[in-house]
Amino acid sequence: MGVQKTVIRNDLRNVAIIAHVDHGKTTLVDGLLKQGGIYRDNQETVTCVMDSGALERERGITILAKNTAVHYKGVKINIVDTPGGEVERVLKMVNGVLLLVDAAEGPMPQTRFVLQKALELNHRVIVCINKIDKPDARLGEVEDEILELLMDLGATDEQLDSPMVFCSGRNGTASYDWTHPEHGTDL
């Protein structure tokens, strides 16, 4: 038996969305799917399409990890929606993470836990501050809290320099500049 060689593909990325409970992971995926051309223009869609189980729909939470894919500039991006109990297993299968944080609540205990696991695996991080349309959003403060959390958890220089996106999963919008969300784009 020979040694198996790992092939790195430039046209494929596996990304896990990690967050504290109810910070909008599944809603964000819905927005990505809608804008990624998954649905026909006249097709009726449901909210929280990734929550396919009856109990998930009833309780409004993700219980089992699920994946979907979008295509962007010739790259297939596999997106894994991660519930709390399966985060560690899922993180071992991805190339990077999208850390989602509520713009009003900021980093919460589960945010710290899932981010620590991702950093330990040396994953690249994209920080996504979600729900910027909430009246009690604290964008500047939450941005600072996330940077402090990254430092507290011993993030590498590359991880500290993670891109930060300000979005509304519900509205399907995102921007790199929270002071000028009109300069943003669709998700």
**Whole-angstrom Cα distance, residue 90 to residue 82?**
7
Q: Over the stretch 70-98, which tens digit does the pLDDT of each residue have?
A: 777 888 888 887 766 678 888 998 999 99
At 119, list the tokens: 């950093």
Q: 98 and 115 in contact (C-beta within 8 Å)? A: no
What is the DSSP secondary-structure string of 72-129?
A: ETTEEEEEEE--GGGHHHHHTT-SEEEEEEETTT-S-HHHHHHHHHHHHTT-EEEEEE
Q: How confident is the model at residue 56 (pLDDT cuts 50, 70, 90)?
A: very low
The model's pTM is 0.75
